[in-house]
C-alpha cells in the first residue's frame, strides 16, 4: 500500500478548507483516509498562526513508515522544518525565452556594456583635458543675459509657429474656393 500525505478539500463553495491527511494513493482526493494530521485554511492571511496546523509527531511517524508528501504538503512541512524544503521547480518551461530571444538579449547587454565603456572613456578624456579650457566654461555659465535670450527667442518662435499654422489652415479653404470658381466657369 503506497501512502501519501496530501490535502483533502472541505468547506463550502468558494470557501475552501483543507485537511492534511495520510491516505492510500489509490483513494479519491476527498475519500477515505487513514489519519488526519493537520489542517490548511487558505482564507486566512499568510502570517496567521492557524493558517497551517500540523501534528509534528504523527507526521514524522508516517514519513518514517514511508508516506510521500504531495508538493503542497512538502512545502508546508519544509516551512515547519519537519523535512528539508523542497526545490522550487519551474513548471512552465514554455514561458522561458527562446534561443533567438536569448541571443538578442545578449547582444543588447553587450551593446550596453560597450556604451558604458565609451562613456567612461569620454569622461576620462574630459578629466585629462588642459586646465586652460576650464575658465572658458565658467565664463559662459556666468553670463546671465545670454540665458535670457534663448527664452525670448523661444517665445518669439512660438508666436511664429502660431502665425504659420493660421495661413496653413486658410490655404485649403482658398483652394476649395478656387476649385469652385473653375467649375462655375466650365
Q: pLDDT tens digits for 61-71? A: 999 999 999 99
Span 3-79: which CATH code?
3.30.1320.10
Q: Count how many Cα atoms sit within 13 Å of the Cα of residue 74 in the half-sphere of its side chain.
A: 12
Most confident of 62-66, 126-130, 139-143, 150-154: 62-66
**Cα torsion at 145, 150, 154, 155 (round to 10°)?**
10
Rg value, the chain, Cα: 38
pTM of the model: 0.49
What residues are paired with 12 via a beta bridge? 15
Count the neighbouring beta carbons within 10 Å of the beta carbon of residue 40: 21
Q: What is the pLDDT of residues 58-95, one digit of tens each?
A: 999 999 999 999 999 999 999 999 999 888 777 677 88
What residues are paired with 39 via a beta bridge? 19, 53
SS3 70: coil
Amino acid at each position: 500500500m503506497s501512502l501519501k500525505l496530501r490535502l483533502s478539500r472541505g468547506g463550502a463553495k468558494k470557501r475552501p478548507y483543507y485537511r492534511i491527511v495520510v491516505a492510500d494513493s489509490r483513494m479519491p482526493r476527498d475519500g477515505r483516509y487513514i489519519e488526519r494530521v493537520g489542517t490548511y485554511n487558505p482564507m486566512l492571511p499568510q502570517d496567521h498562526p492557524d493558517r497551517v496546523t500540523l501534528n509534528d509527531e504523527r507526521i514524522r511517524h508516517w514519513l518514517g513508515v514511508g508516506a510521500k508528501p504531495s508538493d503542497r504538503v512538502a512545502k508546508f512541512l519544509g516551512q515547519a522544518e519537519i523535512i528539508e524544503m523542497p526545490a522550487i521547480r519551474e513548471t512552465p518551461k514554455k514561458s522561458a525565452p527562446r534561443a533567438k530571444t536569448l541571443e538578442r538579449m545578449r547582444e543588447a547587454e553587450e551593446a550596453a556594456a560597450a556604451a558604458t565603456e565609451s562613456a567612461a572613456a569620454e569622461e576620462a578624456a574630459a578629466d585629462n583635458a588642459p586646465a586652460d579650457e576650464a575658465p572658458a566654461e565658467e565664463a559662459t555659465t556666468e553670463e546671465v543675459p545670454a540665458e535670457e535670450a534663448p527664452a525670448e527667442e523661444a517665445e518669439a518662435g512660438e508666436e511664429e509657429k502660431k502665425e504659420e499654422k493660421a495661413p496653413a489652415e486658410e490655404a485649403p479653404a482658398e483652394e476649395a474656393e478656387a476649385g469652385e470658381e473653375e467649375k462655375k466657369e466650365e
